Amino acid sequence: MRRNKLKQLIQEQSPIINGWLAIPSSYSAEIVGHQGYDAVTVDLQHGMIDFASALTMLQALSATPAVPLVRVQHNDPAQIMRMLDAGAYGIICPMISTAEQAARFVAACHYPPFGVRSFGPARGLLYGGADYPQHACQEILTLAMIETREGLANLDAILATDGLDGVFIGPNDLSLTLTGSASAESQHPEMLAAVERVVSRCRQQQKLAGIFCTSGDAARLRIDQGFQFVTPANDVMQLGRAAREAIALARGASAPTTGASGY
C-alpha cells in the first residue's frame, strides 16, 4: 500500500503544512496540491463541496505530492466510510466533545477487528494499491477537532482514544464557545490558555497537535508554539486576499486588512 507520508513526518516530528479546499473544483485542488503542501484537506463541512465534487478533487489530488485528507460534515460513520472509499488518506472530524464520540469516529475509519468500517475500498485500492485492505488501518490518519467547551474539558480522555492520531483545533468555533466571538487568532486569555493546554497535553500523550490558521505568518507562530500540523488559511481566504492586494496595488493604495476570522 502507498505509505501515508504524514505518518512518517509525525514520527520525525517534522511540521506538516496542510492546504484547505472550500471551492468545489478539481482544477483548484490540482493547483493547490502542486504548491508544496504536505497534505491538502477537502472541506465538506464549511466548503461548498458535495460528494461528486469531492470525488473529482480527491482524484486531482492523487496526481500531486500532497496527501489527500477530508474534513467531514460531522461525526457520521456513513460519510466517513464513503470518503475513505473515495481515496481520502485521513479524516478530520469536527465537533468531537467526548471520548465516546472520539471512539465512534476512529472506529468508522478502520476495518474490523479494530473498527467497524464496512468493506468496499473502491478508490482506496486505486490510490493506495491492491493491498490497501490489509494496511489501511496503519496508514489512515485520524484527527478529532477540539472546538467546543466540552471537548476542551474532555481533552485528556479524547487524546487517550486508541487509534486517534491527534487533535486539530477549530479556533473560530473554540473562541466562539469560550469567549462569545469567533476569531481564529483570538488573544482572549481563556483562548490563549486553551490553546496552550492542547499543545502541552498532546506533547504529554504523544499525539499530533494541529490548528487552523489565517496566514503563513500565523502558521509559523503556531509551529513555534508547538503545533506540528498547521493550515495556513484556506483557498477562499487566499484567493480573496490575493485579489484585494492586487486591486489595492493597482489603485496605488496601501495593503488591505483581513478580518478576525481570516476572510
Residues annotated as catalytic are: 46
Does 170 sit near ligand 3PY (CB under 6 A)?
A: yes
The closest of 64, 60, 141, 144 to 96, measured between CA atoms, is 144
Q: Which does 30 bind (CB under 5 to 8 A by kind): ligand 3PY, Mg ion, none?
A: none
- Single out the segment in contact with Mg ion by CB under 5 A; choices: 11-19, 26-34, 169-177, 187-195: 169-177
Determine the size of the site formed for Mg ion (CB under 5 A). 3
- Read off φ and ψ for residue 259, nearest 5 degrees: -70, 170
Q: DSSP character for 232?
A: E
Query: Which residue from 170, 210, 232, 262 is in contact with Mg ion, where contact means CB under 5 A?
Result: 170
Does 185 sit near ligand 3PY (CB under 6 A)?
A: no
Query: 195 with 178: CB under 8 angstroms?
Result: no
Does 89 sit near ligand 3PY (CB under 6 A)?
A: no
What the block records as the C-alpha cell of 68 is: 489527500
Helices and strands counted in the chain (H then E): 13, 8
Does 173 sit near Mg ion (CB under 5 A)?
A: yes
* Contact set for ligand 3PY, span 143-162 (CB under 6 A): 147
Residue closer to ligand 3PY (CB basis): 97 or 172: 172
Q: What is the DSSP string of 175-204?
A: HHHHHSS--TT---HHHHHHHHHHHHHHHH
Interacting residues with ligand 3PY (CB under 6 A): 147, 170-173, 184, 212
